[in-house]
Amino acid sequence: MMPHWLDNFLFTYQSLVYSLGVNALLALAMYVVLAVGQLALGQAAFMGVGAYASALLTVKLGAPFPIALLASMAAPALLAFVIGAPTLRLSGVYLAIATIGLGEVLRILYLNWDFAGGALGLNGIPEKAGFVWIFGTLIVALVAFVFVSRSRIGRAMEAIRADEAAAGVMGVNLPAYKLAALVASAAIAGLAGAFNAHVSSFIGPNDYGFDQAVTILSFALLGGVGSPFGPVLGALVLTALPEVLRPLHDYRLVIDGLIIVCVVIFLPTGILPWRIGRIGARK
Amino acid sequence: MLAQQLLNGILSGAVYALFALGFTLMFGVLGVINLTYGFYFSTGAFIALYATHYLHMPIWAALPFAAAVTGLIAIVIDELLLGPLRRAKAPELSSLMVTLGATLLLYSLMTAWFTTDIRRFPPAVFDGGAFEIAGLRITLSQILIVATTALIVGALALLLQKTRLGLAVRALAENPDAAQLMGVNAGGIVRLVSFISGALGGAAGVLIGLNYNAIQPYMGEAMMLKGFAVIIVGGLGDIRGAVIAGLVLGLLESVTAGYIASSMKDAVGFLLLVLTLWFRPVGLFGRVAAKRA
Amino acid sequence: MSATLLSVEDLTVRFGGLTALSGVTFCVAKGAVHGLIGPNGAGKTTAFNLISGMTAQTSGSVTLEGAKLDGLPTWKRTARGMARTFQNIRMFREMTALENVMAGAHLRTPESFGSILFRLGSFRAAERSAVANAMDILDFVGLSEQAERRGGDLAYGDQRRLEIARALASDPKLLMLDEPAAGMNPSEKIGLIDLIARLRARGLTLLLVEHDMHFVMKLCDRITVLNFGAKIAEGAPAEVRANPTVIEAYLGAKVARSLETRA
Ligand SMILES: Nc1ncnc2c1ncn2[C@@H]1O[C@H](COP(=O)(O)OP(=O)(O)OP(=O)(O)O)[C@@H](O)[C@H]1O
Ligand SMILES: [Mg+2]
């Protein structure tokens, strides 16, 4: 099915390649909310919920993988709704706070949840996901994002990001858009979590905390949110770089933090400043 | 048993209140949430640790020293991170993101430097002395915590309500443009508020470090979860709300630990937070958080 | 007496201790160009914010075509047929002029999520007609040459006209313009007067805030005057111009008195 060289390459760099795909999906999850001018930091938490939901299904209940994937999207989407619905009418601070809090509290819950392995996490997760699943999903998601960007919805999203109140005056239903973006973000992050769990065979309660949440933000900001390609590029760079330049590996988090600070202050459009057009069809 | 639970609840509630006070004050006056705030908590504890360890300071001197140094650090951080954004009138989103990135940066630098090993105050500082009063056990550090918190809350209330400086701070919180037109030195107030809130966060860190006698770079992060809950339940920017919400959280946590499960204790704050968002987003006293850019 | 399109009743709003608008009542007739004037800080923009739903009133009510709008968010009011521009231009700066106008046509672009994702024929058709419609509007305000330029890069006067185009794209019954001539040079102002005349010829009702008295007197059928948040006068341009209270509000009591004695 796959060419021989690709097979070889995948075998050698398997885990790196998988992380590239998973992180690119997470960056897209971050992009959806940033694209409507919201800062939700629940992507790591949603990823964790997706990972735990799917892994519990496959490991403990022997559920088929596609069912586990559906659950990995539905569970975090529901959680996003519970947190998002009340906060999205308020100033953006509330959403940021609630989503950071979510990650912390989930960590505590996993730690104390014996059925989910407690502090030891879940082991022996079947390797059901792979190159095709991960990158197939990534491509489908990217195409969907591009299509949505070049439409009435994409225009409304950019309008919200540029000037929320003015977008409302144009007739854009602000809470509906923001909530839909948050729920979509949660579903994508959950799916990424499920893939990650089903290629790495192990998940633990501490994998989805604050560090991971901020790292995902750094992907999106480094790439820039002018188009969905920016965050994906950011994820690829920040995932591959520490592998290529080994000494950077120990300072990975320092670099992620520094990137966010510098990009916000000095380079608000990221390294891919190109902005996607918003019109889907002309003559 | 219940009395002891309630006492413990009030004690931890006092620290939550102290911690959240600086956090909410910063939002109330500066209009931004500075997510590096948890870092001040860790920083305060480490400075006190070093002051007692290497400078052989007694704890009553190390506490204000650590608080003051943390306050100065808070001024620098605010100026470096939020100063440029304030001048550029950048959106709220940018200030959240920049302080978030800085938090990761600062924590990971701190961890690289100090490692995640748990450190302890020298035995001379922490003698773990305790009293029994009417069958209730209370440690020296707990008495120190409550006394310090009461002192600081009182002093802050006096400063804000009774002094000209406090009037200027409140004016700036109410209406920044008008306050500046009336001659309030906005830059000075911003630095003052950064200092006060940094010092409050640092002091809370020292006290918690003393209470558990365990100091570690990421201790501020766990505290942030409580801080978030307290400032939202109390109402963003509401000082009185923060004090009361802090005590409420402390009490509810200790009752939960005593009667439900101690593992669920840390989830109480978040549950309160989500319930508040759904049913009373303006917080306990209904002060509406100003939506500012 | 023609039918009323918008009526504002006893509208009041307080910001902390400041009463920015107190008990303001006026009606805008269908097809009219209605002026809302007053000195700086009189509460004109605040009135716009209350009517469009960007700020919630303390008391009073706003009615459009007989239906109360109170409590409705901005986007629902837009759906009911009102549109506005802003005193301090609020362009979607990164979007092209054409995209800005298409964003303004949000409610009039029938594209379902499914048709967008699968690039159905209905989506393409809707998108093409949205482009054509937006180009027509740009043409109408005289910006068709600038269609592909970034909104934020346009000249100041052009940005003001683009805001009008964006508001027109929702096909409103009531168009509210907040100081449309501010910062325009004389020739641009002449163009704007012509544009407003053509809007009215299309049957649109306009509510207009403007400081340029020449402009207001020339265009408006009826004028409401605010001062310190309260209505101090209303009537045809000639009446308002002759009203001593209005003169006093604009020129200050002293000047007004000296004008009176000279007359
Ligand atoms: N959101 C707000 N919070 C507090 N005060 C406000 C707010 N909006 C407006 N004001 C105050 O209400 C008063 C009326 O302001 P408004 O902008 O409506 O005046 P205006 O008539 O449009 O003046 P101008 O001609 O200068 O545009 C002013 O004193 C202003 O400071
Ligand atoms: Mg105005």
Provide, as residue numbers in chain A, all residues whose Cβ is less than 8 Å from the Cβ of B236: 93-94
Count of domains forming chain C: 2
Look at residue B148 in the predicted model and tell me its pLDDT: 87
- What pLDDT score was predicted for residue C207? 97
CB contact under 8 A, C78 and A158: no
Whole-angstrom distance, CA of residue A198 vs CA of residue A133: 11
Is residue B81 a contact partner of residue B221, using CB atoms and an 8 Å limit?
no
The pLDDT tens digits for A34-92 are 999 999 999 999 999 999 999 999 999 999 999 999 999 999 999 999 999 988 878 78
Q: What is the pLDDT of residue B180?
A: 72
Alpha helix (H) ranges present in B31-139?
37-53, 59-77, 83-87, 92-114
In a domain, B15, yes or no: yes
Task: Verify that C180 and C64 share a domain, yes or no.
Answer: yes
- In this structure, the answer to whether residues C132 and C262 fall within a common structural domain is no
Shared-domain flag, residues C229 and C164? no
Record: contact A159-C75, CB cut-off 8 A: no
Give A163's contacts in chain C (Cβ within 8 Å): 90, 92
Q: What are the domain boundaries of chain A?
A: 16-207
Q: Do A254 and B264 touch (CB under 8 A)?
A: no
Local confidence band at A2 (pLDDT 50, 70, 90 cut-offs): low
Residue B182 included in any domain: yes
Instruction: Classify B58 as helix, strand or coil.
Output: coil
Q: Do C95 and A158 touch (CB under 8 A)?
A: yes
Same domain, C141 and C127: yes
CA–CA separation, A90 vs B290, rounded Å? 10
pLDDT value at B288 more than 60: no
Tell me if C15 CB under 6 Å of ligand 1.
Answer: yes
Instruction: Report pLDDT for A221.
Output: 94
* Residue ranges making up the domain that contains B204: 8-223
Could you tell me if residue C245 is inside a domain? yes
Q: What's at B141, amino acid-wise? A: S
Q: Count of CB contacts below 8 A, A vs C?
A: 109
Q: Does any domain span residue B268?
A: no
Residue A64: both structure tokens together:
């088929």
Runs of H (alpha helix) within chain C: 44-52, 74-80, 97-104, 113-117, 121-141, 156-168, 186-201, 213-219, 237-242, 244-251, 253-262
Closest ligand 1 atom to Cα of C55:
1
Percent of chain A with pLDDT over 70: 99
Q: Determine the average pLDDT of the residues in A218-231.
A: 94
Q: Which one-letter DSSP state was computed for residue B215?
A: B
Per-residue pLDDT of chain C (263 residues; tens, 9 = 90+): 568 999 999 999 998 778 999 999 999 999 999 999 999 999 999 999 999 999 999 999 999 999 999 999 999 999 999 999 999 999 999 999 999 999 999 999 999 999 999 999 999 999 999 999 999 999 999 999 999 999 999 999 999 999 999 999 999 999 999 999 998 899 999 999 999 999 999 999 999 999 888 889 889 999 999 999 999 999 999 999 889 888 888 877 566 666 666 55
> Which domain CATH number covers C72?
3.40.50.300
d(CA C176, CA C244): 27
Nearest to B101 among A102, A105, A257 (CB): A257
Across A110-142, b (16+ Cβ under 10 Å) vs e yields: bbbbeebbeeebbeebeebbbbebbbebbeebb
The total number of structural domains that make up chain B: 1
Across the beta sheet with C4-15, what order do the strands follow? C18-29, C4-15, C59-64, C67-68
The residue whose CA has the least distance to atom 19 of ligand 1 is C41
Return the residue of C nearest to A171 by Cα. Answer: C75
Structure tokens at A197: 């769990």
User: Chain B contacts of A40, Cβ < 8 Å?
Assistant: none
User: pLDDT above 90 covers what percent of chain A?
Assistant: 63
Q: For B290, name the nearest residue in chain A, comparing CA atoms only.
A: A91
Asked whether the beta carbons of residue A210 and residue B104 sit closer than 8 angstroms, the reply is yes
Among the partner residues B267, B273, B281, nearest to A90 by beta-carbon distance? B281
Does the residue C233 lie in any domain? yes
- The verdict on C59 and C141 lying in the same domain is no
**Is there a contact between B20 and B242 (Cβ–Cβ < 8 Å)?**
yes
| Residue at A134: amino acid letter | I
Same domain, C31 and C77: yes
3-state secondary structure of C107: helix
Separation of alpha carbons C229 and C231, rounded Å: 7
C45 lines ligand 1 (CB under 6 A): yes
Chain A residues in contact with B231 by the CB 8 A cut-off are 97
Distance from Cα A177 to the centre of ligand 1, integer Å: 30
* C179 contacts C211 by C-beta, under 8 angstroms: yes
A235-267 pLDDT, tens digit each: 999 999 888 877 777 788 888 899 999 998 898
How many CB pairs below 8 A link A and B? Answer: 143
Average pLDDT, chain B: 86
Task: Flag whether C86 is in a domain.
Answer: no
CB contact C74 to A (< 8 Å): yes
The tokens describing B2, both together, are 């219940």
Cα angle for residues B179, C46, C20 (degrees, 5° grid): 55
Cα–Cα distance measured from residue B239 to residue B245, given in angstroms and rounded to the nearest whole number: 10
Residue C97 to residue C151: CA distance in whole angstroms: 5
Nearest CA to CA, how far is B255 from chain A (Å)? 18
Torsion angle of alpha carbons A210, A213, A219, A225, nearest 10°?
Answer: -130
Residue B28 or A208, more confident? A208
CA of C147 to the centre of ligand 2 (A): 28
Whether residue B289 is predicted with pLDDT greater than 50 in this model: the reply is no
Pick from C119, C165, C39: nearest CA to A143: C119
Structural domain range at position C138: 91-169
Helix, coil or strand: residue C20: strand
The answer to whether residues C176 and C256 belong to one domain is: yes
Chains contacting A (3+ CB pairs below 8 angstroms): B, C
The pLDDT, as a whole number, for residue B188 is 84
pLDDT for position B287: 53
Chains that touch C (3 or more CB pairs under 8 A): A
Residue B135 domain-assigned (yes or no): yes
User: Cβ contacts (< 8 Å) between B261 and chain A: which residues?
Assistant: 112
Token pair, residue A266, equals 């000095």
C-alpha span between A32 and B201 (Å, rounded): 34
**A87 DSSP 8-state letter:** H
C37 and C63 fall within a common domain: yes
Q: Single out the residue of B258, B149, B200, B211 nearest to residue B22, CA to CA.
A: B200
pLDDT in tens, B8-63: 898 889 989 999 999 988 888 888 888 899 999 999 999 999 999 888 888 889 99
pLDDT tens figures, A259-274? 999 998 898 888 888 8
> 3-class SS at C80?
helix
**Whether C103 and C165 share a structural domain:** yes
A129: closest CA of chain B, how far (Å): 31
Residue C190 sits in the same domain as residue C69 = yes
Q: How far apart are CA C134 and CA A138, in angstroms?
A: 34
Question: What are the tens digits of pLDDT across the range B83-94?
Answer: 888 888 888 888
Q: How far apart are CA B9 and CA B145, in angstroms?
A: 13
Annotate A236-263 with three-state secondary structure: HHHHHHHHHCHHHHHHHHHHHHHHHHHH
Distance C40 CA to ligand 1 centre (A): 8
Does C56 map to a domain? yes
Q: Is C42 in the pocket of ligand 1 (CB under 6 A)?
A: yes
Specify the DSSP class assigned to residue B263.
G
Q: Identify whether C27 is part of a domain.
A: yes
C18 lines ligand 1 (CB under 6 A): yes
Chain A CB contacts of C102 below 8 Å: 152, 155, 278-279
Q: Is the pLDDT of residue A9 over 80?
A: no
The residues that bridge with C62 in the sheet, in sequence order, are C8
Task: Give the percent of chain B with pLDDT over 90.
Answer: 34
- Structure tokens belonging to residue B38: 């948890």
Q: Give, rounded to a whole angstrom, the gap between the first and last alpha carbons of chain C.
A: 35
Among all residues of chain C, which has the CA nearest to that of A168?
Answer: C75
Determine how many CB atoms are found less than 10 A away from the CB of residue B1: 8
**Ligand 1 contacts CB of residue C46 (under 6 A):** yes
Please tell me if the CB atom of residue C87 comes closer than 6 angstroms to any atom of ligand 1: yes
Strands B130-133 and B136-139: antiparallel
Please name the residue whose Cα sits nearest to atom 9 of ligand 1.
C46
Which residues on neighbouring strands pair with residue B138, listed in sequence order?
B131
